[in-house]
Amino acid sequence: MKLLVCVSKTPDTTAKIAFKDNNSAFEEDGVQFIMNPYDEWYALVRALEVKEAVGGSVTIINVGPAANDTIIRKGLAIGADSAVRIDANPQSAMFVARQIAEYAKGEDFDAIFVGKETIDHNGSEVGAMVAELLDQPYISFANHLELDGKVATISREIEGGVEVAELEVPFVLSAAKGLAEQRIPNMRGIMMAKRKPLKVVPPTAFEDQAVVVSYELPPAKAAVKMVDPENLDELVRLLHEEAKVI
Amino acid sequence: MADQYVSVRNLRFLLHEVFKVSELSRFEHYEHYDREAADMTIDASKQLSDKLLFPILTEMDRNKAYFSEGSVKVHPKLRSVIKNIAEGGWISAHNTFEQGGQQMPLTLLNAALFIMYAANGNAAAYAFLTQGAANLLQSFGSEELKSAFIPKMYSGDWQGTMALTEPQAGSSLYVLLSTAEPTEEGHYKITGQKIYISGGDHEAVDNVVHLLLARIKGAPAGTKGISLFVVPKLREENGALVSNDVSTAGIYGKMGQKGYVAAHLMLGEGSDCRGYLVGQPHMGLRYMFQMMNEARIGTGLMAAATASGAYYASLQYTQERAQGRPPSSKDLTQPPVLIIEHADVRRMLLFQKAVVEGSKSLLLQCSYYADLEMVASGEDKQKAHLLLELLTPIAKSYPAEMGIRSVSEGMQCLGGAGYCDDFPLEQYYRDIRVNSIYEGTTTIHGMDLLGRKVLMQDGRAMKLFAAEVEKVIQEALKEEALRPFAGKLGQAIKDLGKTTYHLVGLAQQESPEVFLADATLYLDFFSLVTIGWQWLLQGVHAQRGLATATADYDRHFYVG
Ligand SMILES: Cc1cc2nc3c(=O)[nH]c(=O)nc-3n(C[C@H](O)[C@H](O)[C@H](O)COP(=O)(O)OP(=O)(O)OC[C@H]3O[C@@H](n4cnc5c(N)ncnc54)[C@H](O)[C@@H]3O)c2cc1C
């Protein structure tokens, strides 16, 4: 099995979010970045498990600047065999999907894994776009994958139940919680990471049709109001008139 | 349960800005450790700690280890914790590639270890105890012994221990009674007993390998007659593991670290306990001493890390608990303020921060000296060796003693809640206490510092230390904000010099009893100067960081 795993960089979950350039761009200064957990914990680890079971290779791909190499090498430390970085600033989901699809076209991957979404933009778009651009079937939010030769059985949670699909390679899958269990890189992996190939590829030209105009933070949480336990009427009034929940 | 137990940002500051660990990669032995590899290592340790260690910190205390039907039961997850630490490559990380390790600098490994100990020292200690025992074998054992035991220790299947203490031999090992009788087959027959043996027996591993001190029959009395042996709980015979006549009489009911077993072992009650000599006869204590610096730094790490957990738990509480008003507010209708607003609560928090981060810095400084001692050459090597020797008693004792005070202040921040077991402070308070007792009591370290280290090579280590302090003072004098502190440290190092001179004078005029009577107080004083030096060093680098920081997050960090 020749597998491609798409990984992206997201701010650490504890990072303070701020914007610059008239709120049109994310302020990266002072922010600690991590590999998007859905890519790392589920997509990458399941791909590695498949490779360990049936042989083959796992390549990770990222669209981003040289600063992303740190994230990429973590993927190599966890166990990917090689990596590709498309050397461009990821401007939109469509831009990223185009770059990945362009690269994948010449490589004949049996399957492409992405995380179900990034934890910053939560777009959940790249996987579907890559599948479309490659004209391959796409299964989103997969939480279970079995492979028997070239046939994959994939489950996904749907409202109130589980949907099971069967399809042949090649396909694109987006990984949800449950697909695999997080792997922590071991010391040997960290040492090996530097010796594994990381290919840097120039981007293909692509004009984005949509531009981000601005970002906004959610409104600040209102202060907690303390209500005297003796004064239940006041509590009911507040819930009714201010919170409007009853 | 608190959310945070360690500051990774502070560790990165120490590693990259203060000690510049990646510069060790100029030595061939450490060439692979650039900044990225260091960061990945720290991240891996934090992930492992978050996922496996921290979640069972309280459980391991509540469901303590116990002895039943001849075996020691421990937390059910301990086996997988040890296995995961082993598979992560942590037990052998510092060893060479040929030995199956990753040649990781001790500075980096100890920073990673600090995270694990802060998350749950009681669990992580099992694995790192094995590391110490395996290192001893690695350094002095025959190839045959190494291949028989080390792979299983590195893989986490077998526990390693250090078995020194006996009922009559604690601080003073020269009265050790366990005996080893040579046999024609080449092994020794061991008899005796060992007490308080950490990790001495438990069900989370398949075998236990004791690195044990005993006296060969007919050996000279005193420390010169002590030899080092490998004594496994189960020995291999015809491909199977059979009993080696090491039995557990019981385990100790301890004040803290209740998940980390300390066993009382009986050796050779059935005259069938085999020991295998490590290295040369009668060299046991000398071998042990060569590994002591590492073990003592390990104990300092455990103490400082426990205090770190307590600090963050108390910090969180003070940001959530509202009580009282500022002294200037007379309006009783105003809601109470968060207790972190009160000056004395801040004092207690800052005291903890000073102890935790000062200790951490000194421990990494000593680890750095240990690295240089190993990979540098000539004068640099000698210098690192002497400074490490001098500062190890402090790196062990200061975090252990001041850690107790630090956790106590943490508990105080929580008021009544600190004393009750809904919050982790009372556990940290019990857990930290032992660090000033094992690996040599504080008294023993005080005597080691004043009676041996200070006098070493005509006081050369002391002179080197004073020069290191002076270097930092000179750097600090360049920073406006640090000048007053530089002045105070300058005065303190002079006072320390005078005190040392006076005491060494006493050694010549009076009996050793008089000379060493105040050794612990001397250690206290020396420790304060040492930690002051580490704080000034951090101050210099924080000022530099502040001058170039662009993000608020970094500015806040450097300001403290
Ligand atoms: C939880 C726990 C785990 C342990 N784990 C291990 C282990 O894994 N392996 C192992 O071998 N040991 C272990 N120990 C033993 C530990 O190292 C000893 O307890 C310690 O060295 C002190 O020895 P002792 O208890 O006999 O006290 P003692 O030596 O009897 O000391 C009692 C007091 O007298 C003081 N004192 C002793 N001698 C002098 C002196 N010459 N001058 C001035 N004061 C002195 C001491 O400082 C102390 O205050 C462990 C102990 C504990 C409590």
- What distance in Å separates the CA atoms of residue B197 and residue B184, rounded to the nearest whole number? 30
The percent of residues above 70 in pLDDT, for chain B, comes to 100
CA distance B376 to B383: 10
pTM over 0.95: no
User: How does the average pLDDT of chain B come out, rounded?
Assistant: 96
Give whole-number Cα distances, A78 to A36, A49, A195, B407, in Å.
14, 12, 13, 37
Residue B553, classified by CB atoms within 10 Å of its CB into exposed (0-12), middle (13-18) or buried (19+), is middle
Looking at residue B332, its pLDDT comes to 85
Contact status of A223 with chain B (Cβ, < 8 Å): no
**What is the DSSP secondary-structure string of B420-471?**
STTSTHHHHHHHHGGGGTSSS-HHHHHHHIIIIITTHHHHHHHHHHHHHHHH
Question: Partners of A200 in the beta sheet?
Answer: A85
**Residues in contact with A43: Cβ distance below 8 Å, sequence separation at least 6, in sequence order:** A5, A6, A7, A113, A114, A115, A173, A174, A175, A179
Give B382-414 pLDDT, tens digit per residue: 999 999 999 999 999 999 999 999 999 999 999
pLDDT in tens, B452-504: 999 999 999 999 999 999 999 999 999 999 999 999 999 999 999 999 999 99
B441 lines ligand 1 (CB under 6 A): yes
Ligand 1 center to residue B296 CA distance, Å? Answer: 14
ipTM: 0.85
A213 and B CB contact within 8 Å: no
A23, pLDDT greater than 90? no
Q: Is B526 helix (H, G, I), strand (E, B) or coil?
A: helix
Q: What is the mean pLDDT of residues B95-107?
A: 96
| Separation in Å, CA of A120 to nearest CA in chain B | 19
- What does the domain layout of chain A look like in residue ranges? 2-217
**Domain boundary assignment for chain B:** 8-153, 158-285, 286-559
The reply to whether domains B8-153 and B158-285 share a CATH topology is no
Contacts of B186 (CB under 8 A, 6+ apart): none
b/e code A100-111 from CB counts within 10 Å (16+ = b): bbbbbeeeebbb
Residue B152: pLDDT band with limits 50, 70, 90: very high
CATH superfamily of B8-153: Acyl-CoA dehydrogenase/oxidase, N-terminal domain (1.10.540.10)
For domain B286-559, the CATH superfamily is: Butyryl-CoA Dehydrogenase, subunit A, domain 3 (1.20.140.10)
Residues of A in contact with B93 (CB under 8 A): 187
CA angle B312, B388, B282 (to 5 degrees): 115
pLDDT at residue number A174: 96
Count Cβ atoms below 10 Å from residue A241 Cβ, excluding itself.
9
Q: Characterize the bridge pairing of strands A9-11 and B207-216.
A: unpaired
**pLDDT tens for each residue of B501-558:** 999 999 889 889 999 999 999 999 999 999 999 999 999 999 999 999 988 888 999 9
- Tell me which CATH code domain B158-285 carries: 2.40.110.20
Does residue A223 register a pLDDT over 80? no
Is the C-alpha dihedral spanning B219, B223, B227, B232 positive or negative?
A: positive
Across the range B155-176, mean pLDDT stands at 96
Give the CATH architecture of domain A2-217: 3-Layer(aba) Sandwich (3.40)
Q: Are B189 and B160 in contact (CB under 8 A)?
A: no
Q: Inspect the interface and report whether the beta carbons of A187 and B93 lie closer than 8 Å.
A: yes
**How many Å apart are CA A24 and CA B530, to the nearest integer?**
49
Q: Is A184 on the interface with B (CB under 8 A)?
A: yes
Give the N- to C-terminal CA distance of chain A in Å, as an integer.
56
- Residue A15 confidence (pLDDT): 77
